[in-house]
Amino acid sequence: MKENDFVKNFALQFDETDPESISLSTNFKDLEEWSSLVALSVMAMVDEEYGVRITADDFKNSSTLADVFETIKKRL
């Protein structure tokens, strides 16, 4: 799993947020468009793209996109 691909796939889950504004250091909870619906979309994307299941608690225990990335990497 490459960092850049993960960031791109994550950014594609948003309709109105500029993908260029999202990086590994982004605190995704601070994004105006972040919602439980987007979280579900990210969960589905991670399952489909990487074969890893992440939970709402994983998001709760993460601050940045890098935190989510590391959680996924540990489960690969």
The pLDDT assigned to 16 comes to: 96
The pLDDT assigned to 58 comes to: 98
Q: Which residues contact 11 (CB under 8 A, 6 or more apart)?
A: 17, 19, 22
> What is the set of domains in the chain, with CATH numbers?
3-75 (1.10.1200.10)
Instruction: Record the pTM.
Output: 0.95
Q: How many Å apart are CA 68 and CA 25, to the nearest integer?
A: 11
pLDDT in tens, 3-26: 999 999 999 999 999 999 999 999
